[in-house]
Structure 1
Amino acid sequence: MYALAPPRHGTTIHLESDHVKTEEDLIQASLTGDGGAYGVLVKRYQDRLFNAMLHVVGSPDEAEDVVQDSLVQAYVKLHTFQGNSKFYTWLYRIAFNNALSRQRRRRNELSIEQSREITGSDPVDRHEPPDESMLRGERVALIHRALELLSEEHRSILILREMQDTSYEDIAEILSINIGTVRSRLSRARIQLKAQLENLNSDP
């Protein structure tokens, strides 16, 4: 039987509820206490969610933590799922918000460390995570640097559309905005990203 805490990324799950096929059936079974049914949902979506979060946070270890936390959170909040969107869209929204919260905390911690460094405390180790250069080379690393310079709302919408190929409808659902706002915000975000890339490319 599948326990509340989801398995680590890549773990093979063997469940008694594998005969349940439809997403709606799996959700209903989970709500009645069938942990195995939720395990099937995890098995179905965890790899896709991991790959999506990897684009957001840039670190495999952190992406795995985001996925694990979000799957547990989704289990606890499953009774709030109304079925107005796809289950994966709802799950992605939970994970995406968790990832952004982690990044905000990390930036705050970095700001504290920088302040300590300026005041004479021990130097801070600023090694970047082992990420883009191994995965996609210098061009992607430059894009991620440019993304970090954007506002959170513009960075979020670019990740969803350009990196995850998320539909406008799903972006609207995830970010709680209308389709018109998706289009206008995406247009502004692309302009800002282009400007940041030009600035980075012009740096000596």
Structure 2
Amino acid sequence: MADQHTDAECIAKARQGERAAFDTLVLRYQDRLFNTLARLMGSSDDALDIAQDAFVQAYVKLDTFKETAAFYTWLYRIAFNLAMSHGRKRRPLTIMDTDDTTRNIEPASTAVSPSEPLESAERVAGVQAAIHDLADEHRQVVVLRELEGCDYEQIADILEIPIGTVRSRLFRARACLKEKLATMVD
């Protein structure tokens, strides 16, 4: 099935038993879902397991999907529930940087000291550690907003919380990060 079909078309065909239609949805969202989970969980192995479980659950429960929500929001909600359930069993050890953009940032100045790349890597590691140390509810909104670029409404839909709660959690998370990261620049 070609990728130009809408999510709604793919869902309708998958509900009629056309496996290729659901495969299109998997191909469309697997990388984004994996990257979000890897950042949230801190483990690519755990992220892969959770992503696979989420797609299996989505396929099995496809008849319960309501078209009032976006498919990826529903899929992410399934994945986040699985991730939080998994996280209760074992707290992640690290936050992964699955986005190459932070590794390929050009320095502002052309005169680069030999220690600058090391300092930059240390700053990235410090930010990752600070995000990792956030409470689950704060880490979720930071990952979705700052790393995945979701808007408040999408975050509210994914996490099944009011938009006001998204705002307050994000405010608290940013305040926590600011406090933790202030020690890095001192």
User: Could you state the TM-score of these two structures normalised by the residue count of structure 1?
Assistant: 0.72
- 1:141 is aligned to 2:125: yes
Of 21, 24, 29, the match for 1:37: 21
Deviates more, 1:132-141 or 1:190-199: 132-141
1:128-152 residue CA offsets vs partner (Å, 9 max, x unmatched)? 6694599653323212221232222
The offset of 1:167, in angstroms, is: 0.8
Structure 1 runs not aligned, ≥5 long: 1-16, 111-127
Quote the sequence identity (%): 49
1:33-71 residue CA offsets vs partner (Å, 9 max, x unmatched)? 111111111111112222222211222222222211111
Whether contact under 8 Å (2:34, 2:51) holds in the other structure is yes
| 1:26 aligned partner | 10
- 1:85 is aligned to 2:69: yes
Shift of the 30–183 alpha-carbon distance from structure 1 to 2, 3 Å rule, reads same
1:8-32 residue CA offsets vs partner (Å, 9 max, x unmatched)? xxxxxxxxx3387121111011112
For 1:97, the aligned partner's letter is N
Once residues 158 and 51 of structure 2 are traced to their aligned partners in structure 1, the CA distance between those partners, rounded to angstroms, is 16
Of 36, 55, 64, the match for 2:48: 64
- 1:157 is aligned to 2:138: no
Whether contact under 8 Å (1:132, 1:138) holds in the other structure is no
Once residues 56 and 99 of structure 2 are traced to their aligned partners in structure 1, the CA distance between those partners, rounded to angstroms, is 30
Whether contact under 8 Å (1:154, 1:185) holds in the other structure is yes
- 1:191 is aligned to 2:175: yes
Once residues 155 and 56 of structure 1 are traced to their aligned partners in structure 2, the CA distance between those partners, rounded to angstroms, is 7
Of 78, 81, 85, the match for 1:101: 85
Of 148, 164, 181, the match for 1:180: 164
Deviates more, 1:184-193 or 1:136-145: 136-145
- 1:48 is aligned to 2:32: yes
Deviates more, 1:160-169 or 1:148-157: 148-157
Structure 2 runs not aligned, ≥5 long: 104-120
Q: Give 3-state SS (helix, strand or coil) of 1:33's partner.
A: coil
Aligned length: 167
Once residues 133 and 87 of structure 1 are traced to their aligned partners in structure 2, the CA distance between those partners, rounded to angstroms, is 23
Shift of the 61–79 alpha-carbon distance from structure 1 to 2, 3 Å rule, reads same
The offset of 1:72, in angstroms, is: 0.6
Shift of the 148–129 alpha-carbon distance from structure 1 to 2, 3 Å rule, reads closer
For 1:189, the aligned partner's letter is A
Aligned-residue RMSD, C-alpha: 2.7
Whether contact under 8 Å (2:132, 2:139) holds in the other structure is yes
Once residues 185 and 91 of structure 1 are traced to their aligned partners in structure 2, the CA distance between those partners, rounded to angstroms, is 22
